[in-house]
Chains A and B, each alone.
Chain A
Amino acid sequence: MKDVTQALLRLIQSNWRRVALGLLSMAVFLTLWSLYAAWLRAEWPFQGTPSGAWEYVPYPWEVLEAFYLSFWSHPVSGLYMGSHVYASLKRIVAGFVLAFALAVPAGLLMGRLWTAESIGKPVVELFRPIPPLAWIPIFLVVFGITWGPIGIVFLGVFFPILLNVQLGARSVDPTLIDAARTLGTRKMDIFLKVVLPSTVPYLITGVTVGLGIGWMCIVAAEMLGAVGGGVGYFIFTAAGNSQYPYMYAGMLMIGILSILTTGVAGLLERRLSKWMGMR
């Protein structure tokens, strides 16, 4: 009993250290930021003449205030932050679902069949390094303002999932396939009952990475058009209006949304691997 309580205490202690260090790093960051903003303004503790760039760097509390206000008023583009978040989430989800639906089968095939790999590899290797931003003009023409942004998100999400699933399908333990074959399993069932479940941990990695990149693409995506607003749209509109605290508030919102969606993916992973008995 004593050992258990001690172990628990130690666990809390070590977690406290983590929390404390995290808070410390945030505090250092906010201090440096505030000092920089103060320096540009020649305010305390600095003296002299203000720099012309001061309005581009608001104080952290001004950003927080703008973040809070953006939910209750609509200083940028006549929409509340809630609507922008909703619009962006819709794009992320649509782009993600499309990418997932295509990348998973493509990755499985390319990981298991040399013909599929030979066909897919040149195209994938050619298109993978192209930044989604580069596609904006053509996507606007081809897909229009509703599907264009979704297409940009799709590009960001597609490749990480594809490559991870391919790697996972390639790394299936060959004795598991041997075992399935000696149990009388046909090709299709080997795919569904051996290859697919073996690939799940890799798939989760692909999803997590893909979601992060999806959010990184949202500003570029919403440059194409933002029917019903969007956080990316919010950011570049605020920048265009010189509402810099709001611009930073939008950036903060994307960071938070990315953490939340990645967190949900992580939660799903733990559930899934527990259910599958992997840990």
Chain B
Amino acid sequence: MDGNAVKTSISISSLGKVFRKGKKEIVALRGFDLDVKDGEFVCLLGPSGCGKTTVLRIIAGLEDKTSGSVKLNGREISFAGSDRGMVFQEFALFPWRTVRKNIEFGLEVKRIPEGNRAAISQKYIDLVGLTGFEDAHPTELSGGMKQRVGIARALANEPEVLLMDEPFGALDAQTRNLMQKELLRIWAATNKTILFVTHSVDEAVFLADRIVVMTARPGKVRETIDVGLARPRDRTSQEFIRVRGKVLTELDEEFEKARAKELSPD
């Protein structure tokens, strides 16, 4: 490795995961390798059931790996911890807590004194654009605003990486586009490493530095595509459409494989 190379944040090698359902064994991942550089925005893309969420959950420590190694800044990860923040598709906000109290949850369980908590939560409330909604409860918020809380809550812990599991999957198209722009703004402001799972090619090309296309089950990396487009990206530009086409071609083959597997009897 040469001296001025960017530090590797997440390093995954020959990761394997087998789910057991009674006597049945389902190989979800086999030989999955991926390095994510510090500050990089990587999208994981693949047909449904390819194990992209499983990869994320293993990094987060919510799921045990069967084989292989997952390192975060050189340390092998084990249990879930506040060094890896996660944003969920279902928002997963605590309904009995206000926006501020949701964002302070991680600080609270770390026993950070109340005064410091308020300062930190205010910083992230302002960053994600929730100023004025501090005392609202999740039921009073729209989907987009709920996910802003989800992002702020993960960031307030100052994690080394941000893991996002189809975070905008439950939002309508307009909100989704807006939230993608907002996420890029937040990313630029915090320099976080982001690993983002999606099944939308458009979303991946709009957001990512690099797109990792996974194979159908058992999931591994099929192809890594450097997007290489300047930001802000224009969805209607020639280059955007070209990259999109390239990713779609890769993905379509895997979709076909996944479909064939679904139709064939075991």
Contacts and interface: CB of A to CB of B under 8 A. Distances in A.
Interface of A: 173, 175-176, 178-186, 189, 193-194, 197, 200, 276-279
Contacts of A175: 88, 90, 92
A182 B62 contact: yes
A57 B250 CA distance: 86
B94 A194 contact: yes
B122 interface: no
19 contacts: A175-B88, A175-B92, A178-B86, A178-B92, A179-B92, A179-B94, A180-B109, A182-B163, A183-B85, A183-B106, A183-B154, A184-B82, A184-B106, A185-B109, A186-B109, A189-B109, A277-B95, A277-B96, A277-B97
In order of increasing CB-CB distance, the 8 nearest A-B pairs are: A277-B137, A184-B82, A276-B96, A183-B106, A179-B92, A181-B80, A182-B86, A175-B92
B138 interface: yes
Interface in B117-154: 137-140, 153-154
A217 to B, nearest CB: 33
B9 interface: no
Given A182-B61, A182-B84, A276-B95, 19 more contacts: A178-B86, A179-B86, A179-B153, A181-B61, A181-B80, A182-B62, A182-B81, A183-B105, A183-B154, A184-B81, A185-B109, A189-B109, A193-B94, A197-B96, A200-B96, A276-B96, A277-B97, A277-B98, A279-B139
Contacts of B108: 193
A278 B109 CA distance: 22
Is the interface on chain B under 10, 10 to 19, 20 to 34, or 35 or more residues? 20 to 34
> Which applies to chain A's interface (DSSP): helix, strand, loop or mixed?
helix
B24 interface: no
Interface in B60-119: 60-62, 80-82, 84-86, 88, 90, 92-98, 105-106, 108-110
B193 interface: no
